[in-house]
Amino acid sequence: MMGALIYLQFASTRNRLIARLKRLKQPKYLIGGIVGAIYIYFYFFRYLFLGSGHVPTGHATWFTPENRMVIECGAGLLLCVIVLASWILPNKRAALTFTEAEIAFLFPAPVARRTLIQFKLLRSQLGILFTVLIFTLISRRAGGNVLVHALGWWLVLSVLNLHFLGVSFLRTMLLDRGITHWRRRMAILGVVGGTAVGAGFWVWHSMPAMEVVDQPGEILEQVRRVLTTGPLPYLVYPFRLLVRPYLASDLTGFLLAAWPAVLILLAHYWFVLRADVAFEEASVEASRRLAERVAAARAGKLRGGGVVRARRPPFNLAPKGSPAVAFFWKNLVAAGQMFNKRLLIVLAIMCVAAFFGMSGSSHSGGFLSLLGMFALMMLVWSILLGPQVLAQDFRQDFKMADLIKVYPMRGWQVALGELLAPAVILTCIQWLLLPLALGGLIRLDRGAELDMGMIVGFALALALVAPPLNLLSFVIPNASVLLFPAWFQTDKAMPHGIEAMGQRIIMLLGQMLVLLISALPAGAVFTGVLLVVKWAAGWWVAAPLAGAAAAVVIAMEVAVAVVLMGRWFEKLDVSEEGGP
Amino acid sequence: MIEVKGLTKLYGDFVAVNELSFAVRPGEALGLVGPNGAGKTTTLRCLTGIIPPTRGSIHICDHDLGESPIEAKHQLAFFSDEPRLFDYLTVWQHLVFTARVYQVADYVPVAEQLLAELELTSKKHVLPGELSRGMKQKLAIACGLLHSPRVMYFDEPLTGLDPHGIRKMKDSIQRRVREGAAVVISSHLLHLVEEICTHVLILKGGRKVADGTMADIKQRFLQGVGVSNLEDVFFRATSDVEESTVP
């Protein structure tokens, strides 16, 4: 029976690979594949092919003998926290996640439960091996033996994988014996709390008194002392045994250090196979949730598979008036899933902080300056990343294109309606960040020569330019959906892999380039008006006027783009767009 | 009310629909039948304005769908086999949105009545994700009927409905036909077509094989055979062997 399951895995993997290779016949995937490969090479493989001599020498010092103990204890502590979390946090019965097809074929088939577990463990090794590859390529930069690192990562990840599964089985066993999640949690927290108090007492009496320090070097020294002396090294000892093989300097050292970890691995494997826990029912539910998450991710939803709650509409939609407003309204309701009260409260708190920063209080000046700088940074990033994060537009509705095309609306009305909501949301965020950034700038420059008129004038100009500029920035990804619908086929299998990653890189760079080119005429107008008016009046007047003029230019570009997008939408024939 | 002349849809070299002409008058229900790949879905998508035809014209209530799409679309409703709903709008919000799109001024009493008729009143503030397949279908129907369309297209209207829902759906379609709507039903369920439709259009390979009233079609294809149901007509009309011998 295991042979059939291995065949299933092998055939699926092989066919997926072949499908991806065949996809490379299409130029868009081939180019994407090349760009993706270049990116991966420069990000991961460059150091591997250049040899160990090219690893930054500063990183090699990480694995000095005195650091090994700190890393071993620190990593052991981290593993301990992860494992404890797996005992405390989950509130579901044991569930092995299979695809819906696997459930349909395997659960009614005469396959033993133990065989299914073995199959699941075998398949999880594919994911683990891929993760090992990525982790090794990353950790390779810190020096050390590549093979030892790879084997070390494999040991740690495999044990964790088995442990999580074993804990889920134990949890189910406890539930079957009437021990609820809360009783289990209270018991574990009691043990952990008691141990923590005991350890704290030990530290208090055995370690020299710690002084309050503020220099990074002194802080690191304190951390080193806590990690390597006192009770902590003993408390996390089993976890240190797992980390130790990774830290070995050569293969011999690895083999000597690995046997306790291998014993832990085998003990876990024995328990997981021996535990006769009914996971089928929970697995069906888990697989359904997985299918929903995949479908949501394919539809471009950030919170895929999460619970969607009904939201109060942002305003009452009258039955008469421009139908474009109906789309604006609908997309604001959709954005309510992400752009909710919590986010507004956070932003409001930031604005209050900005107000205090601008009021000139001498307390917490550094923090407010930092906050202001953060806001400024967020402002810049919002222009670049806003259109990627907020997608309550054509990208979200593309799967509904058939339905929308039946509506008695002009194409440009649909296009405008789709663009409005994310642009308005982004503008609101930027308008909230603007005073915060302004406050930070003023505080940072306190005492220095600063032209307040210029700063406030430019802030006003930015506030004026933001709405049309945001509309323009949303035009680009939305127009891409209409021009290259095959790349956004949300109801089909979403392409992934190196070529799809390359496509996204190309798309992002293209968006930035088009935005830059589109902003050039507005930039020229802005500069011209600014120079002329500045000569006659101050920054106070010149910058907002120039901003208004630039906003008009961008708005005209947006109008042209909306009309074009409307035509493309009217001509769009999704059924003609084949391809994977 | 629906007038189609020379409708042709090409995908590259592939002819999905070839020179199709027919008309559906008020109070008529046309059954669009044919084997898989006959061009039924493509025809329906052209009739609704989802995809533009390569050649030919479609008139809805005397409005050319190509020339005056807004006016034409105001008169029609399309009910797809799979209800297409917005995940994040509640049942009522779907109706509010639809009312604005179709400019239905006094929509509240109509919407309330539709919800009551379709037994959705208790689900008014529920999202589609919490509705069963049948209820989603009902919501899609409520949205489609809100603007009182004079032309209706149904693509496999009974998919996913329970026996109670099937009965109500058939009654609802027949009532709209009696009230003067022009209805096109695309379905593989020949007994449904036979029960509800006044006319039949049989497609095969993108071409019209037969078109006429139910009685005419039966007479044409089943002369002297002795049986007289649409299923027999369908097999005779779409059979490659017998096609050339059919009168």
Q: Is the pLDDT assigned to residue A255 strictly greater than 50?
A: yes
Q: In chain A, what percentage of residues exceed pLDDT 90? A: 24
pLDDT in tens, B70-88: 999 999 999 988 888 998 8
Question: What pLDDT does A397 receive?
Answer: 87
pLDDT, residue A465, reads: 93
Q: Residues B128-137: pLDDT tens digits? A: 988 888 899 9
Q: Determine how β-strand B2-11 pairs with β-strand B29-33.
A: unpaired
Predicted local distance difference test score (pLDDT) of residue A299 = 53
- What is the arithmetic mean of pLDDT over A206-221? 63
Q: What confidence tens digit (pLDDT) does each residue in A113-157 have? A: 888 888 888 888 888 998 998 888 877 766 678 888 899 999 999
Identify the CA nearest to A211 among candidates A223, A202, A201, A222: A222
Q: Which of A512-516, B28-32, B154-158 has the lowest mean pLDDT?
A: A512-516
A448 has pLDDT over 90: no
Query: Cα–chain-centroid distance for residue A64?
Result: 33
Q: Residue A112 burial by CB count (10 A; 0-12/13-18/19+): exposed, middle or buried?
A: exposed
Query: pLDDT by residue (tens digit) across B11-60?
Result: 888 899 999 999 999 999 999 999 988 899 899 999 998 888 999 999 99
- Chain B residues 96-135 with a CB less than 8 Å from chain A: 96-97, 99-107, 125-127, 129
Min CA distance, A574 vs chain B (Å)?
Answer: 8
User: What integer pLDDT is reported at residue A302 of this predicted model?
Assistant: 47
pLDDT of residue A493: 47
CA-CA distances (angstroms) from residue B201 to A579, B10, B46, B208?
32, 20, 16, 7
Return the pLDDT at A548.
94
Calculate the dihedral angle through the C-alpha atoms of B57, B61, B65, B71, rounding to the nearest 10 degrees.
Answer: 160
SS3 at position A307: coil
Reply yes or no on whether the pLDDT at A59 is more than 50. Answer: no
Averaged over B159-177, what is the pLDDT?
88
Q: Please check whether residue A312 touches B, CB under 8 A.
A: no
Q: Which two tokens stand for residue B75?
A: 């008169």
Q: Of B73, B107, B126, which has the smallest distance from its Cβ to A407's Cβ?
A: B73
Alpha carbon distance A467, A372 (integer Å): 22
Q: Which fold has domain B1-75+181-247?
A: Rossmann fold (3.40.50)
In this model, does residue A578 exceed pLDDT 60? no
Q: How far apart are CA A114 and CA B167, in angstroms?
A: 48
The Cα A464–Cα A547 span in angstroms is 6
pLDDT at residue A490 is higher than 70? no
In the predicted structure, residue A365 carries a pLDDT above the cut 60:
no
Region A60-64: mean pLDDT is: 60
**Are the Cβ atoms of A406 and B52 closer than 8 angstroms?**
no
Q: In this predicted structure, what is the pLDDT of residue A58?
A: 45
Cβ separation A337–B88 shorter than 8 A: yes
- Which of B74, B106, B107 is facing A408, going by the closest CB pair? B74
Residue A491 is predicted with a pLDDT of: 43
A403 part of contact set with chain B, CB < 8 Å: yes
**Range with the largest mean pLDDT of A250-259, A274-283, A408-417:** A408-417
Give the pLDDT band (50/70/90) at residue A481: confident
| Per-residue pLDDT, B247 | 42
Token pair listed for A147: 């093979």
Instruction: Please say if the pLDDT value at position A51 is more than 60.
Output: no
First to last CA, chain A: 33
What's the pLDDT at A227? 78
Choose, out of B88, B107, B131, B148, the residue to mutate when testing the contact with A (most A CBs < 10 Å).
Answer: B88
Q: What is the pLDDT of residue B46?
A: 92
Distances (CA, A) of A193 to A76, A196, A197, A231, A577: 18, 5, 6, 15, 60
Q: Which of A251-265, A280-294, A331-345 is least confident?
A: A280-294
Q: Mean pLDDT throughout A189-202?
A: 87
DSSP state of A56: -
Is A24 strand, coil or helix? Answer: coil
Confidence category of residue A57, pLDDT binned at 50, 70, 90: very low
Strand partners, B22: B4
Distance from CA of A425 to the nearest CA of B (A): 17
| Mean pLDDT along residues B167-179 | 91
What's the pLDDT at B219?
81
CA–CA min distance B113, chain A (Å): 17
Cβ B101–A403 below 8 Å, yes or no?
no
pLDDT of residue A352: 64
Residue A322, pLDDT above cutoff 90? yes
Name the B residues in 178-237 with CB < 8 Å from any A CB: none
pLDDT of the residue at A217:
66
* Secondary structure of residue A340 in the 3-state scheme: coil
Average pLDDT over residues B105-114: 93
Contact A246, A147 (CB under 8 A): no
A276 beta partners: none
φ, ψ at A95 (rounded to 5°):
-150, 125
pLDDT of A579 above 60: no
B173 neighbors B29 (Cβ within 8 angstroms) = yes
User: pLDDT tens, B225-245?
Assistant: 665 788 888 888 887 644 444
Residue A144's pLDDT is 73
The pLDDT of residue B227: 59
Which residue in B42, B76, B88 is closest to A333 by CB distance?
B88
Asked if residue A210 has pLDDT above 80, the reply is no
- Asked if the C-beta of A181 comes within 8 angstroms of chain B's C-beta atoms, the answer is no
Max mean pLDDT among A28-42, A78-92, B61-75 falls in B61-75
User: Across the interface, do B127 and A321 touch by the CB < 8 Å criterion?
Assistant: no
pLDDT at A351: 67
pLDDT score of A487 more than 80: no
Residue A208 has a pLDDT of 63
**What three-state secondary structure class fits A143?**
coil
**What local confidence, expressed as pLDDT, does residue A402 receive?**
87
Residue A306 has pLDDT above 60, yes or no: no
| pLDDT average, residue stretch A562-572 | 92
The three-point CA angle A389-A395-A401 to 5° equals 160
Separation between Cα atoms, residue A142 and residue B239, nearest integer Å: 72
Strands B151-155 and B76-79: parallel
Q: Which pLDDT value is given to residue A342? A: 66
- Token look-up 């008169």 returns B75
Region B155-171: mean pLDDT is 87
Q: What is the 3-state secondary structure (H, E, C) of chain B?
A: CEEEEEEEEEECCEEEEEEEEEEECCCCEEEEECCCCCCHHHHHHHHHCCCCCCEEEEEECCEECCCCHHHHHHCEEEECCCCCCCCCCCHHHHHHHHHHHCCCCCHHHHHHHHHHHCCCHHHCCCCHHHCCHHHHHHHHHHHHHCCCCCEEEEECCCCCCCHHHHHHHHHHHHHHHHCCCEEEEECCCHHHHHHHCCEEEEEECCEEEEEEEHHHHHHHHCCCCCCCCHHHHHHHHHCHHHHCCCC
Whether the CB of B73 is below 8 Å from some CB of chain A: the reply is yes
**CB contact B153 to A (< 8 Å):** no
Q: What span, in angstroms and rounded, lies between the C-alpha atoms of B240 and A177?
A: 67
Mean pLDDT, chain B, whole residue set:
88
Give how far Cα A84 sits from Cα of A56, A158, A193, A404, B104, Å.
36, 17, 12, 50, 59
Portion of chain A with pLDDT greater than 70, in percent: 77
Q: What is residue A341's predicted lDDT score, i.e. its pLDDT?
A: 60
Three-class secondary structure of residue A96 per DSSP = coil
Alpha carbon distance A554, A515 (integer Å): 11
Residue B246 pLDDT grade (very low, low, confident, very high; cuts 50, 70, 90): very low
**B172-196 CB burial, b ≥16 within 10 A, e <16:** ebeebbeeebbbbbbbebbebbbeb
Flag whether residue B22 sits within 8 Å of chain A, measured between CB atoms: no
**Ramachandran angles phi, psi of A109, nearest 5°:** -80, 160
Q: What is the pLDDT of residues B88-105, one digit of tens each?
A: 899 999 999 999 999 999
Q: Is the pLDDT of residue A353 over 70?
A: no
How many whole angstroms separate alpha carbon A121 and alpha carbon A111?
15
What burial class does residue A413 get, using C-beta atoms within 10 Å of its C-beta: 0-12 exposed, 13-18 middle, 19+ buried? buried
Q: Which residues contact A53 (CB under 8 A, 6 or more apart)?
A: none
CA distance A394 to A481: 7
Quote the percentage of chain B above a pLDDT of 70.
95
- State the average pLDDT for chain A: 80
Q: Chain B within 8 Å of A89 (Cβ-Cβ)?
A: no
The answer to whether the CB of B36 falls within 8 A of the CB of B109 is no
